[in-house]
Structures are given as C-alpha cells and as structure tokens.
Structure 1
Amino acid sequence: MATTTETISEYVHYHDGGIPGKRRVLTGVDAKPTFNAVPKIDMQRIYSPHLADRQQLADEVGAACRDIGFFYAVNHGIDEELLDQTFDAVKKYFDLPMEVKMECHNQKAEKFRGYEKFLEGKLDPSTRGDLKEGFLMGEDFTDPEQKLSPIPSLAATSKPRNQWPTHPTALFFRPAIYNYYNAMLSFSRRLLRIFALALALPEDHFDTLTTHPMTNVRAVHYPPQPSPADVGIGAHTDFCWFTLVCQSRTTSPALEVLNGNGMWIPVDHEPHTFVVNIADFLKLVTGGTWASTVHRVRNISKESGMGEERYSMPFFFSPNEDAKVSVLERFRKEGKEYDEFVVGEYFQQRLDIDRTTHLDRDGQVENTRA
C-alpha cells in the first residue's frame, strides 16, 4: 500500500489593511528571493538645491519602497539634541502616576487621542494584548502650536482633537512633543517630494493633497517582555501615507519586519537615523507596486531572554482629511476600474478597527498591566 506524507505548513499571522492575513514560512527549496536587511540611505541630498542630487536620492528611495517598504534615513538633519530632549520627556511622562496619565485616557476622545494603557491594544488575537503604553496626538486646528485655520468643508475641524495633561507635574510634556512634531512635519514634507520624484512625478505633485495633512505622533513605552509569548505590538501594516520612527537605544532589536519568506528581519537601533516605512495609502496609489510591509515589536533580548525599557516615537503622515486618492495613472491597467477613497473616511474606518480590537466582550477596557 502506498503511503503519503503530508507537510504541515507554518504561517505567520498579521493584520494587513485592517484585515487578518497570513503568510506561509518558506525555507529550503521553497524559499524565494527577498530582503534580509533594511537598507541605509544617506538623506543629506534631500537638502540639496540641485534637482539631480534629489533625483539620485529618489532613485534609491524608490528601489527601497518597491523591494522592501522600509529603509533607514541616515543623516536626516534633525537636531540630535532635540531628539534626546524628546526622549527624556517621553520617559518622564510614562513614569508619572497612573492617575495623572489617565486624565487623558484615549477612550475619552473621538479620534483615539491621548493615553493608552498596557494591554489595551490587541492586534494579535493569540496574545493577551500589546505589551505597551502610549500617547497619541495629531493634527488639531484648535492647538495654537499648529497655526492652522479650520477647513470650511469639515466643520469638525473646529473641535479639539488632542488631549493634553493639565496636572502641574505633566506640563512639560506638551511643548516637548510639539518641538518634535514640528521638526518631523518639516522633514516629512521634504520626503514627500522625494517620493514624488521616485514615482516619476513632478516634485510638487502631492502638495495640493497635503496642504493640511493628517499627522500623528505616538510616543510609546515598551517594557521588558517577561515571556516569549508576549508581543509589544502585534504584526500589522500602518494606515497612513508613510511613517518615520525614532527608536531608543536597546542592546537587541525589538522592531522586526516580515520578508517575503515569512521570516522576521530585525531592525536595530542605528544612531542618527530614522526608520522609514511605506504605509497603506502609498501602497494603494501605486497599485501595490510599493510595499506596505508587515512589522511588529518584540522586546526580548537574545542574550538574557528579557528585553530592556524601550521607547519609540513614530510620526505618521497622511494626505488631507478631505483629499480623494486613487491609483496613479501610470499604475493603472487598461480596462480596469479603480475606486477613489476619501482619506479621512478610510482613516476613520481603520481607526475604528484598531479601537475595538482591544475591547472585551462587555465593551469595557481591560485594566490589567503586566
């Protein structure tokens, strides 16, 4: 009697575009060509007055966006002292008593802005929750630091979106975050023009879509993980245009990106760099040509089996809330129809998914801390 041997495949599970997905782990003869490291790109040319220099940079950035979806932005030009001061403020904020942080609990805000407790996020349903705490702020036409005027077509822009702590021990936090926010916004506008060149478009192609962009800073604290079963944040893609990540020094990398073979590739802390990743909107407008790559955080040291205190400050950049986007003409296939998306509506749909994944069956936030 003939016998057959069935191969049991291993899969990596994640959220892609807000939808659960999985990727088979490929090894040996099944493995395909893919990346095994995140490239470093020298960004000094972003400030060059010469188009040829900026185009050369765009060519390198475009290759990374197509093949990987992640790259290190080396020599980004943002003052290191400002970054150090922001990290100091973030650490100081998360060390505050819980009752001070809970003044701005994100469940009080429509846009999910403010403080998020440990284990309140849960992108990976197989875990007890995301082992992190965070603080989210973003575009707010009522915050004077942003010098924005309400948009007549969006009445809601005149309402406060951010929450800021008012306790005397926490007043340092808002100005520190805004110093970082404004520096990252300025750099992001330059980077957006490099992306346009990389797509063979005029440098200013996206300018009309980003006159009042949707933006966020999420300050995050990842404590050491006591168990390999824990995860700092579950595997996911970002729902914005692109993300810039400034991460604190740790001995072992915690950020990991998923390659085409279902293998997790570490993204170490590198001095004087940001980690840049393409997100869902740029994947959308390029017809999937640019990669919105799955990533996660696992704060575990290979040496000790226990991670270190880790802090991260991702900056998320998106088009205007009322902008409409679709696949660029050069990426369209003849005879195929393409939908147009209103940025704010899509963003809110994704936010609602993220917001409900961490609620228990009774709709109440779990208050457990690891």
Structure 2
Amino acid sequence: MVSATPTAPPILDFSAFRSSNPSERETLINQIRTACRDKGFFQLTNHGISSDLQTQTLSACKQFFDLPLSEKLKIDLKFSKHNRGYERHGSQMLEAGTAPESKEGLYLGKDLPLDHPRVVAGEYNCGPNPWLEALGEEFKDVCMEYYQAVEKLANEVIKALALGLGLKEGWFDEFTSKPSGTLRFIHYPPTPTTSSKARGIGAHRDFGCITLLMQDQVGGLQVLDEASGEWLDVTPVPGAYVVNLGNLMMKWTNHVYNSNMHRVMNFSSKDRYSIPFFYSGDQSYVFDCIPGCEGENGEKGEKMVVGEYMKRQFDTSYNRVLEQETVATS
C-alpha cells in the first residue's frame, strides 16, 4: 500500500465560524477537527484582527530588537519573577543535544499590577510587564491592544476546538474565565550553517493550550510529519495566523488532539521576526481528561494544575542551556 504524500497544515477561512450558515460552520469545525487529529497545526484567514494592528505590532517588534543590547538588558528576563522581559540570544534550548538557539525574544503578558489578587496569590505567569522608557507609551499601547485582540481570537478558536470534540461550544468557559497568556516577540538572525547542531529554534512541542502565531514573510517554520519523518514548510500567508496545539491540550484530550514537533531554520540571508501568542487559560485550573477522550480501558491520566504543568516545561527548556554551560566550564 502506497502511503499518502505528506501535506502541509491546511489554510482555513475562520469567517465560517461566525457564519449564520450552519453548513459552512460545520464544514469548518470538521476541517479543524481533522487538522487537530493530524499535526495539530492549521492556518487561519479572515480571523477579524485588522491588518493595521498586525502591521503596527510587527513594527513594534522590530523597534524593540533594534535597540542597543545594553538597553534591552535593562529588562533581562532573569530579573523577573513573572516570566516577563528580554530573552538573550542563545539562552534557550528546546531540542536536547543541539546548540543554544539563534534567537532573542521579549516576553510580555496581561499587564497586572503587583497588588492584583492573581499576582498576590502567586499565580504562574501573572504580573506586570517591564516597559522601557526609550520606547514610549505608544509601544506599550500597541502591544496591549494586540494582546487583547489575539486573546479574544484564541477564546473563539477554543470554542471551535470544543465543537470538534463533540462538546458544547462553551465547555471550556471555566478554563478561559481568567486566562493567562504570553505574547512573545522573537528575532531570528540567519541560522548558522557551520554546524549541524545550529537551530533558529530547536524541534519542540509548545507547552500550553494553543498558540497563535503571526509570522513575517521570510519563512523558516517547519512542522514534522511524524509518519514519514519529513519536515514540512509552513509557508507564510499574508495576514494569516498559524494555529497549533500545545502539550496541555494534547494531554487534556488524552492524545485525541495532537501537539506536534516543529522548529525554525532560518537559512535565508534575512532577519526573521515572529510574534507567537501562547494561550494557557486559568493557571489555577485543575485538569485531567476531557469527557469522551478516555482510553480504551477508561484511562484518564493524573489530575494536574495548569500553572504547575506549564512551569515544569518552561524551566526544563532553560535549564538545558545552564547544564551545557556547566559541562563546558567544568
């Protein structure tokens, strides 16, 4: 039997989700369900976020990375208790056995003051954002307007995921009632070609519930076709969002939905910029297995707190670099 040719993630029109035509909506839900069971990746067009806001946010991203290193280090991630700030080039390693990754980043989130109840309670990934005076109020305003827009879209996508599982549209409402998310600006210089271990970002699965990615037109994002072992390019579509599921959703659905390996290999001569939004819902929510996703013998897996599950994965990826540095200097 000849195996099917591997195909890149589908490009889907999200306007059908808001359509008054039940047939169009059902077709979209079926397409999303199929994509989630396959690679856990798809692209969305006609999602409702304006091209003007996308352009402004991408410009803000480039503006940040154009700053001198000394300025960016004023908000170094290592100084933050809330997972916010500047990620130095080469500080993360998601794929074990590779070189530290050829990227730098900026972590932002919902801008909560230190006296906010969620911050006082110590919820993971909850707190204030560090803002640089050099970038002014306009930078902050654009970032937070974009955060709100993409969080709203993520909530809609999650409703579509629920329908794809045969659940009611609002099944995840408790989980999304006080959501947490990370807005991440990433700059990828051209990936070095002198070492087979070099990566823009190494092969990994995302940690949370879903990711909504706005990428520029340089390209370099690849998703693994697990059946063939082939890496497939996720070709940029102007204005579209790459949507992929994370480990939290895969675990929650008992692997009915998939969280797939992906990486970035920027072998162009250009700098690449991307802006993922990592959505992980209520950090205090306790999850085990979604109804209907139990295994053949009724296996459901252990109950876990979202924030604890997220922190465990995040710490592992950064500790790999520290462990490698320790070995190199010992």
2:84 aligned partner: 113
**Alignment partner, residue 356 of structure 1:** 319
- Residue aligning to 1:22: none
Alignment length (residue pairs): 324
Deviation at 1:249, TM superposition (A): 1.3
Contact 2:180 / 2:283 at 8 angstroms: preserved in 1?
Answer: yes
The equivalent residue for 2:250 is 283
> 8 Å contact 2:111–2:129 — kept in the other structure?
no
Matched AA of 1:341: M
Q: Give the residue type in structure 2 aligned to 1:209.
A: F
What's the counterpart of residue 168 of structure 2? 202
What's the offset of the Cα at 1:178?
A: 1.0
Cα offset for 1:328? Answer: 1.5
- Give the C-alpha shift of residue 362 in structure 1: 6.5
Q: Do structure 1's residue 308 and structure 2's residue 270 form an aligned pair?
A: yes
Structure 2 residue runs of 5 or longer lacking an equivalent are none
Unaligned runs of 5+ in 1: 1-28, 302-306
What is the alpha-carbon distance in structure 2 between the residues aligned to residue 123 and residue 338 of structure 1? 25
Task: State the distance in 2 between where 1:73 and 1:159 align.
Answer: 27
Q: 1:335 to 1:82 in 2, by over 3 A?
A: closer
Q: State the AA in 1 paired with 2:183.
A: V
Match of 2:31 in 1: 60
1:223 aligned partner, one-letter code: P
Q: TM-score, normalised by structure 2?
A: 0.90
CA contact (8 A) 1:55 1:197 kept: no
**What is residue 174 of structure 1 aligned with on the other side?**
140
- Cα offset, 1:236, TM superposition: 0.2
* Counterpart check, 1:38 vs 2:38: no
Q: Which residue of 1 aligns with 2:206?
A: 238
User: Is structure 2 residue 56 aligned with structure 1 residue 93?
Assistant: no
Structure 2 distance, partners of 1:228, 1:32, is 35
**Where does residue 304 of structure 2 map in the other structure?**
341
Give the superposition deviation at 1:335: 4.6
Shift of 1:363: 6.5
- The aligned amino acid for 1:129 is P
The question of whether the paired residues in 1 share the 8 Å contact of 2:214 and 2:276 is answered with yes
* Cα-to-partner distance string for 1:126-175 (whole Å, 9 max, x where unaligned): 333100010011234328xxxx96249x7125997344233334554322
Paired residues of 1:118 and 1:131 also in contact (CA < 8 A):
yes
Q: Distance in 1 between matches of 2:321 and 2:213?
A: 23
Give the structure 1 partner of residue 241 of structure 2.
274
Identity across matched positions, percent = 31
Determine the structure 1 residue equivalent to 2:217: 249
The CA deviation at 1:112 is 2.9
* Selected match of 2:281 from 319, 334, 342: 319
Q: How far did residue 258 of structure 1 move?
A: 0.6
TM-score (norm 1): 0.81
Backbone CA RMSD of aligned residues? 2.6
| Conserved? CA contact 2:126–2:180, under 8 Å | no
- Equivalent residue of 1:46, what SS? helix
Pick closer, same or farther for the CA change 1:227–1:216 going to 2, 3 Å: same
Specify whether residues 272 and 169 from structure 1 end up closer, same or farther in structure 2 by C-alpha distance, changes over 3 A only. closer
Q: How does 1:177-196 map to 2 (within 5 A)?
A: 177-196=143-162
Q: Is the 8 A contact 2:123 2:307 kept in 1?
A: no
TM-aligned CA distance change 1:79 to 1:279, over 3 Å: same
Q: Supply the distance in 1 between the matched residues of 2:89 and 2:98 (Cα, whole angstroms).
A: 13
- Contact 2:185-2:275 at 8 Å conserved across structures: yes
Q: Deviations over 1:185-235 (max 9, x none)?
A: 111111111111111100000001111112111100001123163211000
In the TM superposition, residue 114 of structure 1 has moved relative to its aligned partner by 0.7
